[in-house]
Amino acid sequence: MKIRDLLAAESIELNGKVTGKKETLDAMVDLMAKSGKINDVEVYRKGVYAREEESTTGIGEGIAIPHCKSDSVSRPGLAAMVVPEGVDFDSLDGEKVNLIFLIAAPNTKENVHLDVLSKLSVLLMDEDFTTNLRNAKTVDEFLHVIDAAEAEKDAEEEKKEEEKKAEAPVSNGKLILAVTGCPTGIAHTYMAAEALEKKAKELG
């Protein structure tokens, strides 16, 4: 499954005009509903609100990733909005948000969509990627940015796996254990893991 499989063109808005957090969440839920993946929009909306009350999904750097795992979701999905003027979202860094992805996850044991969502979360930590998304002039361009970045990430992961197989086992290596957490275990966990990996590589 690819990010494109979850993100329908009709669920993307490149010129969002919202004035507050509630209006933003409502607009994102309405975008998600256009994909036909929600079987009860109001139940899903309440779930998105409830998740937001636990802690803000405005992660900083102008990005927010609200999300909800619920029986009201028929199939996993994504919706996206660019808000050129930015909107107050109670972000962790206090700055306005201008790039938002809403995640819809069905309440099932099979979490096949999580690898896609983890990949998106990791990609959003790349400044060039988010800049290109914010600057996209058309929905097709927005989707192309995602497709290209995902293909590049997949190639990197394949290369990593090949390098691991080629490396001789290290008997005196260090084991680093990191524990991350998110109220619904969807996005922040993967972003934290990526940040830890990057820092570990930087420190050797």
113-146 pLDDT, tens per residue? 677 777 888 888 889 999 999 999 999 999 999 9
Query: What is the pLDDT at residue 20?
Result: 94
| Residue 97: band (very low, low, confident or very high) from pLDDT cuts 50, 70, 90 | very high
CA dist 198 → 61, 122, 125, 151, 193 (Å): 17, 11, 11, 20, 9
What is the domain partition of the chain in residue ranges?
3-150
Query: What is the pLDDT at residue 149?
Result: 94
Query: What is the pLDDT at residue 169?
Result: 58
User: What is the average pLDDT across 151-168?
Assistant: 80
Catalytic residue among 68, 113, 182, 188: 182
Homologous superfamily in CATH for domain 3-150: Mannitol-specific EII; Chain A (3.40.930.10)
Q: In this model, does residue 180 exceed pLDDT 80? A: no
Query: What is the pLDDT at residue 160?
Result: 79
CA pair distance 116, 77, nearest whole angstrom: 10
42-89 pLDDT, tens per residue? 999 999 999 999 888 898 889 999 988 899 999 999 999 999 999 999
End-to-end CA separation in angstroms for the chain: 33
Q: In this model, does residue 24 exceed pLDDT 90? A: yes
Give yes or no: 67 in active site.
yes
